Structure 1
Amino acid sequence: MYKRSDYMKDLYLMRHGETLFNIRRKIQGWCDSPLTENGINQALMAKQKIKGISFDHYYSSTAERSCDTLELVAGDVNYKRLKGLKERNFGTFEGESEDLNPVWGNPDFTYDDLFPHYGGELRADVSRRMKKTLTDIMNKDDHHCVLAVSHAGACAAFYSTVADYTTFRKEYGRLMNCDILHFQFENDTFTFVELLRI
């Protein structure tokens, strides 16, 4: 269990539920696909997982899959959609088979060796975008406990600004649908606390 100071804030960063493109193994990025029945059930399980947490603000990527997940998890609440929470842009590879993805952890051929040459984003750009967006959110005076729904790649890119994502992968494996990353925030600094997994 973690210890929270009076000045500490809490960010819960969640990946959306399973989508049609997830089960069809399609690269999503900035394009979109709807939640599956399983994705809806995942979101409802996540709702139960965090039902005891008192959130004061809610945010989502502008993607439908994220908004739908947040609405299932949080119910009828006011939330803000932010482009800064969007998934990585994969350029002309969006909607194509995941078989075109580089193998994760291969030091000789990475996402940055492929997608940015076809209109996609660099990982560093996604990391900066996510870090700025989430820092701006958590620096708001009345934001003490925030739930934000985003995407696997974007969440991983943000995590890499806080701690070593390779170590995370060794301990937890891939970031699964509706996984929730809990961070503490104080003095412009995020600290990873725990992974909440349905």
Structure 2
Amino acid sequence: MISFYIVRHGQTIFNQKDMVQGWCDSPLTQTGINQAIGTGIGLHDVSFSHAYTSISERAYDTANAIIQNRKIPLTIDKRLKEFNFGMLEGEKNEVLMKPFNGDFETAIKIGWVKDGGENETMVRERVRSFFDEITPLHENGNILVTTHGLTIMAILKEMVPQDFNIELLDRGIDNCSVTIIEYDGEYHLKVLNDTDYRDQGLKRSVKK
């Protein structure tokens, strides 16, 4: 069996400022760096055979902060990038959502194609391509994947639709939360948006 530990990147400056952050990038804040390090501490007892990350700096830096000195191969993959919001990149999130009157589900289904970006179907196609390619490369073990909030939502909808309903989430995907999908011939959702690895790791780092 393969277990994919899917982690959203740590907090960024754009997260703090409530700005649209898709294919554009902003660095991790100190809080975001600490979250990623804490998640690495929380996941220290999990033996990873490989790690994959979005090409975006915030996800790549999160992966490296989790891995630290462990000798885990790390592969960058563009298919793990966040939604592309086109010309709305860098705007306030309220501008992004204004045409949809706050209806999140409608927003991601229609997407921002007219602004040069993507919709949910397009993102689901690329994450499906990612899993279809890499899953056969690993017979078993634990795989770390660092990516983005809406991309994780697309992964859940595409790979484990039988196990996931948006109503399971009280909010979006948290920074440095862990979502675990298992593969045993079929994909199954085991853990959703778990911040315990991050929070327990942060507590342990403070004690040191």
Q: Same fold (TM over 0.5)?
A: yes
Q: Which of the two has greater helix per residue?
A: 2
**Whole-Å separation in 1 of the counterparts to 2:48 and 2:149:** 22
Deviation at 1:36, TM superposition (A): 0.1
Contact kept in structure 2, 1:156 and 1:165, CA below 8 Å: no
1:57 shift after superposition = 0.3
Aligned to 2:173: 175
Name the residue aligned to 1:147. Answer: 144
Encode CA deviations 1:19-41: one digit per residue, 9 max, x unaligned: 01110111110011100000011
Structure 1 residues 167, 114: CA separation in 2 closer, same or farther (over 3 Å shift)?
closer
Partner residue, 1:49 = 42
Q: Hey, what's the Cα distance between the residues in 1 that align with 2:102 and 2:46?
A: 34
Q: 1:138 aligns to what?
A: 135
Residue 48 of structure 1 deviates from its aligned partner by 1.9
Q: Tell me, in whole angstroms, the C-alpha distance in 2 between the residues paired with 1:84 and 1:143.
A: 22
**Is contact 1:138-1:144 (8 Å) kept?**
no
Tell me how large the CA RMSD over aligned residues is. 1.8
* Structure 2: gaps (5+ residues): 199-208
Q: Which runs of 5+ in 1 are unaligned?
A: 1-7
TM-score normalised per structure 1: 0.87
Structure 1 runs, 4 residues or longer, greater than 6 Å off: none
Q: How far has the Cα of 1:51 moved from its partner?
A: 1.2
Change (3 A) 1:116 1:47: same
User: In the alignment, what sits opposite 1:3?
Assistant: none
- Alignment partners' CA distance in 1, 2:104 and 2:183: 32
Q: Is 2:121 the counterpart of 1:124?
A: yes
Q: CA, structure 1 residues 143+95, in 2 after alignment: closer, same or farther (shift >3 Å)?
A: farther
Q: Secondary structure of the equivalent of 1:29? A: coil
What amino acid does structure 2 have at the position aligned with 1:167?
Answer: E
2:60 paired residue number? 67
Instruction: Evaluate the alpha carbon distance shift between residue 106 and residue 11 of structure 1 in structure 2; reply closer, same or farther with a 3 A threshold.
Output: closer
Give the TM-score of the pair, scaled to structure 2: 0.83
Alignment pair present for 1:96 and 2:94? no
Percent identical pairs in the alignment equals: 29
